[in-house]
């Protein structure tokens, strides 16, 4: 079979794997992975399809509890890992309440070991340093061996099986999907899908008997949580910042320069004496309106020196640079970057308005459909008029009347 269909397929079918990955206590081993959700989400305003989001999820091997997840329309990245891990570590009671979810999600705490695949985001320098900072043992599974991530792979399969019941599902293959147009059927926004996944996890998955545990994941967690010596970060914001992407920069006299933007904070004055030292700058790709400077005394939050600059994303910045390069611009400065982004935003907004105007125009023309609004064709067996009554003394009562159609609601 290895010769006919390849070694990978032969191994999946015939390779003996007697060993299992076990953990003695909760949070001893946590697995993290990504998958493309098998469902299309729509824009919350226009309800137009936006595509399939990426789900990043973390599972505790000992109790099979889902520790946390993150849903995004962006491809897998260090940011999605950071947000998923922060969600896994935090107490989720307020997070659930903000989404109107009344179920419990007791799993939280810093893992002792994280098992991941060989994705570029897991090999990022910032991820390795943050894991070391919080005494997390980072382990990579051998390339091309998905069986080493069996727990997370089975969880993802379970979650996607539930997603297949949603409108807009793509199913797992073209044979199951058939002629279904997933984008035409899609109705859920990203936020609604996030809430649905939280309900599916806390209200269904955590409450079902797990065959390997012979109890529910929730019960397994509650039974061992008191003896697990859970670790929590002293500052959750600091924890998230530590896992964000980073760059090294020297402090200039006018501040830090990152992504062609000059950042400043009055607190940076105290660091001016160390002009040759490189500082670690943390940033959130979703919002470049602030950066986080790591110092011995803590985090300094710096903003663009020009406070009139709008908040932009790293993806907008890259698109603007790409557009300027295509236009033959070799030198790029802050003013040019922001003017390009504003022009691109205006173009996108104009296109969105035109799309909505087109849909409104089509709705206004609906009455011009070739089909008549009311079918006036008489029935062949209908009489021309009702029979005249025998009493002819009253003009109103004596009138033969008119034929009246009877209309019935379809439902």
Same domain, 157 and 277: no
Q: Is 382 helix (H, G, I), strand (E, B) or coil?
A: coil
- Reading phi first (left if > 0) and then psi (alpha if -120 to 50, else beta), residue 123 is in alpha
All residues at 6 or more sequence positions from 137 whose CB lies less than 8 Å from its CB, including other chains: 112, 113, 114, 131
What DSSP string runs through 184-226?
HH---BHHHHHHHHHHHHHHTGGGSPBTTTTB-HHHHHHHHHT
pLDDT category at 199 given cuts 50, 70, 90 is very high
Same domain, 124 and 204: yes
Q: Is 33 helix (H, G, I), strand (E, B) or coil?
A: strand
How many domains does one find in the chain?
Answer: 3
Flag whether 30 is in a domain. Answer: yes
In the chain, % of residues over pLDDT 70: 76
Q: Is 53 helix (H, G, I), strand (E, B) or coil?
A: coil
Flag whether 97 is in a domain. Answer: yes
Same domain, 186 and 72: yes
Same domain, 182 and 71: yes
Calculate the average pLDDT of the chain. Answer: 81
More confident residue, 338 or 162: 338
User: pLDDT, tens digit, for every residue of 240-255?
Assistant: 999 999 999 999 989 9
The whole-number average pLDDT for the span 172-196 is 75
pLDDT category at 227 given cuts 50, 70, 90 is confident
pTM: 0.74
pLDDT of residue 18: 45
**Among 218, 189, 247, 29, which Cα is nearest to 106's?**
218
CB atoms < 10 A from the CB of 191, how many?
12
Q: What is the CA radius of gyration of the chain?
A: 31
Given a cut of 80, is residue 372 above it in pLDDT?
Answer: no
Distances (CA, A) of 205 to 63, 107, 152, 293: 12, 13, 14, 40
Same domain, 287 and 354: no
Residue 35's beta-bridge partner residues? 55
Same domain, 28 and 109: yes
pLDDT category at 333 given cuts 50, 70, 90 is confident
Same domain, 47 and 96: yes
Same domain, 41 and 164: yes
Range of the domain at 173: 15-229
Given a cut of 50, is residue 19 above it in pLDDT?
Answer: no
In the chain, % of residues over pLDDT 90: 42
| CATH classification at residue 156 | 3.30.420.10
Same domain, 262 and 156: no
Flag whether 53 is in a domain. Answer: yes
User: pLDDT, tens digit, for every residue of 126-140?
Assistant: 999 999 999 999 999
Q: Two tokens at 70?
A: 């993150």
pLDDT of residue 158: 79
Sign of the C-alpha dihedral computed for residues 303, 307, 313 and 317 taken in this order: negative
Cα within 13 Å of Cα(224), Cβ side:
21
Pairing of strands 261-264, 298-304: antiparallel
pLDDT of residue 367: 47
Flag whether 332 is in a domain. Answer: yes
**Which residue, 343, 364, 385, sits at the end of a domain?**
364
Same domain, 290 and 225: no
Count H helices, E strands: the chain? 14, 13
All residues at 6 or more sequence positions from 127 whose CB lies less than 8 Å from its CB, including other chains: 78, 81, 121, 138, 243
Question: What's the rounded Cα separation, in Å, for the pair 261 and 186?
Answer: 39
Given a cut of 50, is residue 375 above it in pLDDT?
Answer: no
User: pLDDT, tens digit, for every residue of 249-303?
Assistant: 999 989 999 999 999 999 998 888 776 789 999 999 989 999 999 998 889 999 9
pLDDT of residue 132: 95
Question: What's the rounded Cα separation, in Å, for the pair 52 and 190?
Answer: 9
- Reading phi first (left if > 0) and then psi (alpha if -120 to 50, else beta), residue 334 is in alpha
The whole-number average pLDDT for the span 19-31 is 83
Question: What's the rounded Cα separation, in Å, for the pair 68 and 83?
Answer: 9
Taking the chain, what is the end-to-end CA distance rounded to the nearest angstrom? 57
Tokens 């790293």 belong to 314
Q: Two tokens at 95?
A: 């997070």
**Among 118, 142, 144, which Cα is nearest to 11's?**
144
Same domain, 193 and 271: no
Q: Among 148-157, 321-330, 367-376, where is mean pLDDT lowest?
A: 367-376
Distances (CA, A) of 347 to 95, 187, 332, 344, 353: 36, 26, 21, 5, 10
pLDDT of residue 351: 77
């Amino acid at each position: 079979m290895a010769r006919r269909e390849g070694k990978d397929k032969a191994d999946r079918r015939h390779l003996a794997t007697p060993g299992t990955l076990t953990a003695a206590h909760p949070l001893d081993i946590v697995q993290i992975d990504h998958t493309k959700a098998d469902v299309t989400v729509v824009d919350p305003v226009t309800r137009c399809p936006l595509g399939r989001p990426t789900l990043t999820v973390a599972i505790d091997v000992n109790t099979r509890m889902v520790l946390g997840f993150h849903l995004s329309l962006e491809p897998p990245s260090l940011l999605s890992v950071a947000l998923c891990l922060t969600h896994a570590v935090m107490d989720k009671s307020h997070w659930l309440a903000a989404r109107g979810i009344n179920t419990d999600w007791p799993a939280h705490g810093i893992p002792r070991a994280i098992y991941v695949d060989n994705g570029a985001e897991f090999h990022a320098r910032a991820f390795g340093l943050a894991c070391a900072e919080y005494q997390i043992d980072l382990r990579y599974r051998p390339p091309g061996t998905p069986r080493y991530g069996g727990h997370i792979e089975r969880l993802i399969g379970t979650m996607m099986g539930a997603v297949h019941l949603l409108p807009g599902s793509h199913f797992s293959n073209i044979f199951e999907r058939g002629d279904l147009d997933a984008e035409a059927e899609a109705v859920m926004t990203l936020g609604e899908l996030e809430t649905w996944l939280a309900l599916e996890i806390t209200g269904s998955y955590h409450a079902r008997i797990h065959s390997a545990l012979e109890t529910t994941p929730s019960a397994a967690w509650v039974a061992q949580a008191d003896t697990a010596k859970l670790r929590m970060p002293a500052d959750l914001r600091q924890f998230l910042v530590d896992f964000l992407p980073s760059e090294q920069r020297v402090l200039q006299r006018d501040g830090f320069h990152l992504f062609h933007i000059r950042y400043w904070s009055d607190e940076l004055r105290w660091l001016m004496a160390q002009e040759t030292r490189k500082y670690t700058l943390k940033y959130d790709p979703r919002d470049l309106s602030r950066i986080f400077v790591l110092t011995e005394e803590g985090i300094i939050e710096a903003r663009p020196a020009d406070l009139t600059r709008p908040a932009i994303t790293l993806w907008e910045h890259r698109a603007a640079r790409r557009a300027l390069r295509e236009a033959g611009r070799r030198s790029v400065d802050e003013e040019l970057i922001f003017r390009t982004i504003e022009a691109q935003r205006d173009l996108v907004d104009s296109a969105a308005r035109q799309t909505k105007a087109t849909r409104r125009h089509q709705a206004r023309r609906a009455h011009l459909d070739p089909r008549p609004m009311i079918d006036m064709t008489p029935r062949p067996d209908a009489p021309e008029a009702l029979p005249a009554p025998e009493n002819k003394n009253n003009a109103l009562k004596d009138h033969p009347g008119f034929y009246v159609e009877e209309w019935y609601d379809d439902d």
